[in-house]
Structure 1
Amino acid sequence: MSLHVLKNNDIAIKVEDHGAELRSLTKIDSGKEFMFQADPKYWGRTSPVLFPIVGGLWENKYIYDGVTYELPKHGFARDMDFNLVKETSDELLFELKDTEETMKVYPFKFALQIGYKLEGSKVTVTYNVKNDNDGTFYFSIGAHPAFTCDLNTDELLFEKNGAAVKDTLKSGVIDMSSGCLSEKVIDVKTTEGVLALEPKLFDEDALIFEDRQSDSVTIIRKDDADKVKVSFDAPLFGVWSPDKKNAPFVCIEPWNGRCDRVGYGHALEKREHGNRLEKGESFNTAFSIEIL
C-alpha cells in the first residue's frame, strides 16, 4: 500500500491506493489534522468508498437474473487496491476495475474512478462509474468520511441552497439486528439548522436523511475556530458515529443508494435509491470538503 500526497498553500491531503481512501486532511499553517485516524478502538477506517452497495442487504443477499448472491455491508471496493492513473500538482485519480473475484459476487463489468482535486482550502472528491457490460448495470455508491470532533460539545449546521434548513429534519432508523432500514422515522430537531451533537444520537446507528433535506453539513467545534463543511448533491446522506462508544469523530456521508428495508425481497434491480446504467453509459457525482 502506498500513500499519495497533494498539497497547496492552504491544505494537504494523503490518499492511500488501498480503497483509494482519503486518510489525512491538514492545514498547512497549523498542521492540524481534520480526519479521524482509523483507531481500531472505535473504527478501523477513515474515509472508505461504499460500492457497489451502500449499507447492508436484507439477509446479506440479493437476487439477479434468477441467481442469489451475497455481499458484505458496503460492498468490496473499500477493501481493494486501486491503480493511480493520473497525478498532477493538484489532482489524483484512481481506478478500480472488475476482477474474476468481484464477478463471483457481483456479475458485472465496471470501471470505478475516484478523484481528488485541491482548490484553496477545499478538496473535491469525484466518483465516476462506467458500465462495461452489454446490458444494464445496477449499483449504488456512497462516501463515508470521518472527521475529528467532540460529540459532547460540538455542533452540526445543516444548510440547503445556502440557507439553514427548517428546524426539524426527518431521519430513518436502522434495525440494529439486521442492519436494514426499519419503518420508524424520528424527528431530529435543530435550532435554525444547528444540531448539538451528543453520543446518544447514534444509539440506533446512523441517522439517515432522505429526500434532499440538506446539501451541506458543517462541523462547528466549540474549542476551535476552524470549521469543516461537507457539500454534496446527493438524494440522501447519513450522519454516523459508533453507537455507545463516545468516539472522537462524526461521519458525514453523501449517498447515491442505501441499505435495504427490513423484509425486502432481494431483487437487485428494484432496490430503493439504486442506480442503473445502460451499455457504455457513465455515472458522475461529487462532494467537497472545505476548511472554513
Structure 2
Amino acid sequence: MTTTISNSKLKASIKHAGAELFSIKDNLNNEYIWEGNPDFWGKHSPVLFPIVGTLKNNTYTINGIEYQLPRHGFARDMEFELIDKTESKAVFSLKSSDETLKKYPFDFELQLIYTLTENSLDLEYKIINNSKEKMPFSIGAHPAIALPDNFEDYALQFEKEEELKYYLLENDLISSKTKILETTNNKVSLNYELFKNDALIFKKLNSKSLTILKSAKPYIKVDYQDFPSLGIWTKENAPFICIEPWLGYSDTDQNTGNLYEKEGILILDENKNFSAKFSITIL
C-alpha cells in the first residue's frame, strides 16, 4: 500500500512498508527521489531504527542478555500503520510486537510524520518509550536524492565554513582513521572517487544544512537542525546521492556490546517521548 500527500507545489508518496518515502514530484512532474533500481540500490529513503549503522558482530547486550540486530535495525523492513492523514500530511506508526521484542526488548512506538509546506517536505521522527525502563536507541534518515544527468555536474554546499572531518569504515565499523573533505568556499564537487571506501561519516558538524548544486545552481537543500551526525553516500556510477541525518552511527571495534554504553546512543526515560525533524526543500 502507498499514501500520497500534496499541496500546490509538490506531491510526495510513501510506502506503508517501512513508511518509506519513494517519490517527491513538482508540478512539472520532475522526480527528486531515487527510483530504487536494484541494479544499484533497491531502496529510496529507509528509516534507520533502533540503531544506525552496524553493531560489532551484529550483536548487543541489555542487562547481560544478548540480542542481534541487522545493519540499520529492523523498522525499515516492517509494515507501518497509517494513523492520520490530511491532504498535505500523513502520520505512520510502528509499535513493538512479539517479533520486535525478540530483537529489541522495549515497548515502543515509532511515528514518521510527513508534512508538505510550500516547496519543502518535513519528516519528523517521534519515538515513544512505553517501557518501564530507560530505552537506548538511535534514529536516522537515508534519503536518496535523484541526480539526473552527469554526476560530476553536482556539488555539495555546506552551510558553514568548517573542517569537514569524516571517519572511515572498516568491516562496516567506524575506524579511528579520519580524512578531511576539502572544500572551496564550503563547496565540494561530487565524484565517485569520494566514496571508494563507502560512506563519508561525520560524527559532528557545525553546518546544519547543505545544498546540492546542479551546474552551480541550487537544486535541493537538506536541513537537519536536530541531527548532530551526517552520512553521505552513493554507489559507483549510481545517479543518486544519499544525504543522511543521523542520531547515532556504527560501532567501533572497541565497543563493549552494552547498548547503553554505545557511542552516540540516545537514552529515553520511561514513558517519555523524543522527536527530531529534517526537511528536503526543492529549490
For 1:154 and 1:278, how far apart are their aligned partners in 2? 43
- Deviation at 1:6? 1.0
For 2:206 and 2:44, how far apart are their aligned partners in 1? 25
- Which SS does the other structure have where 1:201 is aligned? helix
- Deviation at 1:226? 5.8
- Deviation at 1:128? 0.3
RMSD after superposition:
1.2
Pick from 156, 163, 167 the counterpart of residue 172 of structure 1: 167
1:20-55 CA-to-partner distances (Å, cap 9, x unmatched) read 000000111x11001001100110100000000000
Contact persistence 1:140–1:256 (CA under 8 A): yes
Amino acid at match of 2:131: N
- Deviation at 1:73? 0.0
Amino acid at match of 2:157: L
2:279 alignment counterpart: 288
User: What is the 5 A alignment of 1:1-292?
Assistant: 2-28=1-27, 30-149=28-147, 150-159=150-159, 164-166=160-162, 168-175=163-170, 178-222=171-215, 227-233=219-225, 234-242=227-235, 245-292=236-283
Deviates more, 1:275-284 or 1:48-57: 275-284
Amino acid at match of 2:152: N
Contact persistence 1:122–1:289 (CA under 8 A): yes
1:105-144 CA-to-partner distances (Å, cap 9, x unmatched) read 1111100000000110001000000101011111100000
Q: List alignment gaps of at least 5 residues for structure 1.
A: none
- Deviation at 1:170? 0.6
- Which SS does the other structure have where 1:59 is aligned? helix
- Which SS does the other structure have where 1:252 is aligned? strand
- Which SS does the other structure have where 2:252 is aligned? coil
Contact persistence 1:18–1:78 (CA under 8 A): yes
1:225-264 CA-to-partner distances (Å, cap 9, x unmatched) read 561100012111110112xx22100000000111101232
TM-score (norm 1): 0.93
Identity of aligned residues (%): 38
- Which SS does the other structure have where 1:152 is aligned? helix
1:46-96 CA-to-partner distances (Å, cap 9, x unmatched) read 000000000000111111111111110000000000000000111000000
Contact persistence 2:211–2:218 (CA under 8 A): no
- Deviation at 1:218? 1.1
- Deviation at 1:8? 1.2
